[in-house]
Structure 1
Amino acid sequence: CSEAELIRRTEAISAVLPVCGFYLQPSVGGRRLSFAFWRELAELPGVKAIKIAPFNRYQTLDVVRAVCESSRRDDIALYTGNDDNIVADLLTVYQCRTAAGEMVEKRIVGGLLGHWAVWTSKAVELLEEIIALRESGAPIPSELLTRGIRITDANAAFFDAANGFKGCLPGIHEVLRRQGLLAGRWCLDPEEELSPGQIEEIDRVYRAYPDLNDDPFVQAGLQQWLGQ
């Protein structure tokens, strides 16, 4: 449907319950949406948050700029869904000059990320570290930016970026299977499987970044969580 129709439908839903907008990349079922769409959406009183997940810097900026231009800029929380840019999204202060000439700053407050379905205790530690750093006002350490690239590399293996994200669900399931949290990597679609070479990529990032996984944490709690 058209962007105008999407706004109309969202307005009807938001009159009944709070809405979180979701900008999803086209390669996994989303669609390109304009700055004008997000600008109009941000004015709807029932819209409380937006998850930005186009995996694209320009389209991410469209959403941030639209919210900054909105009269409801302070009422809308922004979350990153850009699994390829997690750390930088969380660290960045976005500055936008509005059409009225006002300089507005906006931060992404957290993440709604498929990547955080695995190695999750490390993700919690990362978010807490970034929030503490932001609140302290201290300079951003270069190590954290480097770690962000390492996380992106791991995400490329889990999400199967090399094959247009076709293996993203079985990739996540494979990590959970290795940890004992799932019995297998099956998906609702029985034909949905790892792409050729993907399991080798998952092996590679496990070897390359042992400090990013939370296998010891999972093993310590696994029996309790599974009721064994």
Structure 2
Amino acid sequence: MSLPVTIKQILQEGIAIPAHPLALTAERRFDEATQRRLTRYYLASGAGGIAIAVHSTQFEIRDPHINLLETVLQTTADEIDKSGNKDFVRIAGICGPADQAVKEALLAKKYGYHLGLLSMGGLNDLTEEELIERTKAVADVIPVFGFYLQPAVGGRVLSFAFWKKFADIPNVHAIKIAAFNRYQTLDAVRGVCHSERAAEIALYTGNDDNIIADLLTTYHFEINGKQVQKDFRGGLLGHWAVWTHAAAALLNAVKAYKAGNNETAGEWLSKNISVTDMNAAIFDPANHFHGCIPGIHEVLRRQGLLKGIWCLNPDEVLSAGQADEITRVTRAYPELIDDDFVKAFLQNDRG
């Protein structure tokens, strides 16, 4: 399966991609109607695509006694089909050892997803070469959106050589980098730039504590006597699962600035801190990210997009004081929320 030319172009231009949450009832059962409405919100918000069956969707959907992976993929794909938006980029999370990853890739392909976001989490026992072979196996089924989850958020270090080999795989088209560590990020970006396919790979930030700075930064390297540069074209973020209309507008403003508008770098760096403050309230780093998924749910609940903050794991709840923090940042940065947009969306949404 190859990536459609229009989708590849859209990824290269740069889009906001929210990591789609999971809607549940109070009994912790799948709430299909609410899930579909949430997908319609992302379609209406200005986002350029969604990523589903990822961390924000809760990995427990894969547990045999829950068995929601295919249901979630099918429901989301069907709602996008109904919209008629053929340019909306569909990304399905893929994880696990090679056999599982290939099965999930086949499932994503069955429901028309454009790319698989290939997690390397939980595979620390594999060598880098084994991870490359796993990637090739998945790429034989579906175009790959790579994912560098760094140690700061539970991942592992992957070398410059790994990322060059990764970028060399013909059906790899994008890489999300959770760029918390600049040394490790440099290795990844430099590895991509050393690949002959460097121009074909779109980089996306997955960094939730420095989002705007990532989007503003251009990396320059001299390779074989030539200047090669890469930047983060957009973001694939759990943070952008909330206030998505404002996030899409923010990305467009960053792109305009990079194209030469009149705002100063200092203004953008100050705004970067505002975004980070908002992210801290949602993602709960003060408590080792324990409340990150409930934090996303709480914002959506307050807006009326979710009915509650229930998670498949009943132990996943807001941390003490987290609700107050969400209230604080919502009041402090009204320009970065989209409550008015959501209110109008809900009034006009007909399903």
TM-score normalized by structure 1? 0.92
Name the CA distance, whole Å, in 2 between partners of 1:15 and 1:137: 42
Asked whether 1:62 is paired with 2:187, we answer yes
- Check whether the contact 1:27–1:165 (CA below 8 A) recurs between aligned residues: no
Q: Which residue of 1 aligns with 2:240?
A: 116
Q: Which residue of 1 aligns with 2:71?
A: none
- Check whether the contact 2:152–2:180 (CA below 8 A) recurs between aligned residues: no
How many residues are paired up? 226
CA-to-aligned-CA distance 1:102-121 (integer Å, 9 cap, x gap): 32111111110111001111
Q: Secondary structure at the match of 1:186?
A: coil
Q: Which residue of 1 aligns with 2:345?
A: 221
Q: Secondary structure at the match of 1:136?
A: coil
CA-to-aligned-CA distance 1:130-184 (integer Å, 9 cap, x gap): 1122223766442222111100111011001111111110000000011010000
Asked whether 1:33 is paired with 2:158, we answer yes
Identity %: 61
- What are the ranges of 5 or more consecutive residues in structure 2 without an aligned counterpart? 1-125
Name the CA distance, whole Å, in 1 between partners of 2:134 and 2:322: 39
- What are the ranges of 5 or more consecutive residues in structure 1 without an aligned counterpart? none
Q: Which residue of 1 aligns with 2:72?
A: none
- Check whether the contact 2:193–2:228 (CA below 8 A) recurs between aligned residues: yes
Q: Which residue of 2 aligns with 1:76?
A: 201
Q: 1:169-184 alignment to 2 at 5 Å? A: 169-184=293-308
CA-to-aligned-CA distance 1:176-196 (integer Å, 9 cap, x gap): 011010000111111111112
Asked whether 1:15 is paired with 2:135, we answer no
Counterpart selection for 1:3 from 113, 128, 144:
128
Q: Which residue of 1 aligns with 2:279?
A: 155
TM-score normalized by structure 2? 0.61
Counterpart selection for 2:257 from 133, 140, 152:
133
Residue range with higher mean Cα deviation, 88-97 or 136-145: 136-145
Q: Which residue of 1 aligns with 2:219?
A: 94
- Check whether the contact 2:179–2:205 (CA below 8 A) recurs between aligned residues: no
Report how far residue 226 of structure 1 moved.
Answer: 6.3
Runs of 4+ in 1 over 6 A off after TM superposition: none
- Check whether the contact 1:36–1:66 (CA below 8 A) recurs between aligned residues: yes
Name the CA distance, whole Å, in 2 between partners of 1:190 and 1:66: 41
Question: Which one has more relative contact order, counting CA pairs under 8 Å at least 6 apart?
Answer: 2
Q: RMSD of aligned C-alpha atoms?
A: 1.7
Q: Secondary structure at the match of 2:307?
A: coil
